[in-house]
Chain A
């Protein structure tokens, strides 16, 4: 699903962000990416979405070799990926339903499919009664559920989560984690960058730890530290 082969990434204005990072994630895995701020977690996620390109080494995602991907192919790569953000990034003028439908509209999904799929997605995240609400009328946990439903809209094979519980209280965070576990059980590969030690320890999934741009640990059933 994801292969990093001796990937280094340097930014012109900073020191090197990643040093010869190699790992492989198979289909159906649930992987935590842990480490201090600025260690390189976000860079790894950006390399996977095609926002950044490796300076050396190769990145392969879902069969696409991203070193040489043409800009016009990136949208089609991203239709296989879902991304969830710490700050939810919902459109405040659109309802919950519209926020989820938007992800389908902009990839030109047929209207019939949108009408069938949005309620299904809202059902998965447990928000089927809140379709007409606006984001500001929802709690943080509910907003992240909308973000999750949107990320799943195009039925991605890989779900990337960048600190998805960073803005949530522990209980709500745990609910979101359970939801992610369910989604993972249905076959979607998940990679989640996080600082949340307790969640990682409780989940007992694969942990890749990064410090100063290098992988320091890769445990199949690890804890945060």
Chain B
């Protein structure tokens, strides 16, 4: 390809964008909005996943032993726990340690309150803290544990896990639906914009065909126009998302003590790539659909 051909393509693309300036602006806005919501849902999903994983990783089964279990049985019991399918770790948590924790929690008044329970009078049971390798195994493992004679009581946060998993999948389904709808809308408006510029230049295209310009040569400016609209729209969406996310991140950091967002990097770095790539794809796809059979022979 000659250098002046590339120059011609660029000039034609810019000229066409300027000629349909407001249409181009509207297209960029729509793409931008679609991409923003797309990115927003993606960021939301990332964070829900992140929180879910965080919570999941903290979930452990507290397995309280019956008083009948003596100290010398502990290591044997640990081996048996570890043999249960799904169990990743089993850590012995002696009653003395539990008392220390309670002591720390009670703070100033602890000495008074706990004075009677020291030494042989510790009322707290020995326990095992058990971690499973996957969160969905929690219930299964808990059931097995419950049936063992050495186990007095099993406690785990099954409701939290279930709700989180449910929420994440609902958001995921909803997000995918919204994204699809918006994607189609963005595609539709790009198709219409390019179709307008194609028809505004139908005379030029006709002459190009009569004098023997190749289909490739005729298509490139429209292709570039779609690419510019898609890329520019998605870039704006990314900038908006970036500034919003930075604010949200600091809000969560300072106001919400228990929930933190995934750090902006690398999340937004990855998102930027995806947003720009899908913006470009939408643009190119839109211009290809718009031209359709228009340019054949």
A: residues with CB less than 8 A from B are 49-51, 71-72, 74-79, 81, 83, 89, 91, 102-103, 105-108, 110-111, 150, 153-154
Known contacts A74-B297, A105-B8, A108-B2; is-contact A91 B215 (Cβ 8 Å): no
Indicate whether B210 reaches chain A with its CB closer than 8 angstroms. Answer: yes
Decide: A108 and B297 in contact? CB cutoff 8 A: no
Decide: B211 and A89 in contact? CB cutoff 8 A: no
Indicate whether B213 reaches chain A with its CB closer than 8 angstroms. Answer: yes
Instruction: Please give, as numbers and ranges, the residues of chain B lying within 8 Å of A51 by CB-CB distance.
Output: 297
Known contacts A108-B2, A108-B5; is-contact A102 B212 (Cβ 8 Å): no
Known contacts A72-B214, A154-B212; is-contact A103 B296 (Cβ 8 Å): no
Interface 1/0s, chain B 214-256, versus A by CB < 8 A?
1101100000000000000000000000000000000000000
Instruction: Please give, as numbers and ranges, the residues of chain B lying within 8 Å of A83 by CB-CB distance.
Output: 210
Decide: A75 and B207 in contact? CB cutoff 8 A: no
Decide: A71 and B215 in contact? CB cutoff 8 A: yes
Interface size class of B (residues with CB under 8 A): 20 to 34
Decide: B203 and A153 in contact? CB cutoff 8 A: no
Instruction: Please give, as numbers and ranges, the residues of chain A lying within 8 Å of B296 by CB-CB distance.
Output: 71
Query: Nearest Cβ distance between residue B216 and chain A, in whole angstroms?
Result: 9
Give the 9 A-B CB pairs with smallest separation, nearest first: A79-B212, A78-B212, A106-B213, A103-B211, A75-B212, A75-B214, A106-B208, A83-B210, A108-B5
Query: Nearest Cβ distance between residue A156 and chain B, in whole angstroms?
Result: 9
Closest to B201 in A: A91
Query: Nearest Cβ distance between residue A150 and chain B, in whole angstroms?
Result: 7
21 A-B contact pairs sorted by A residue (CB < 8 Å):
A50-B297, A51-B297, A71-B296, A71-B297, A72-B214, A72-B215, A75-B214, A78-B209, A81-B212, A89-B206, A91-B204, A103-B207, A105-B4, A106-B211, A107-B213, A108-B1, A108-B5, A108-B217, A111-B4, A150-B211, A154-B212
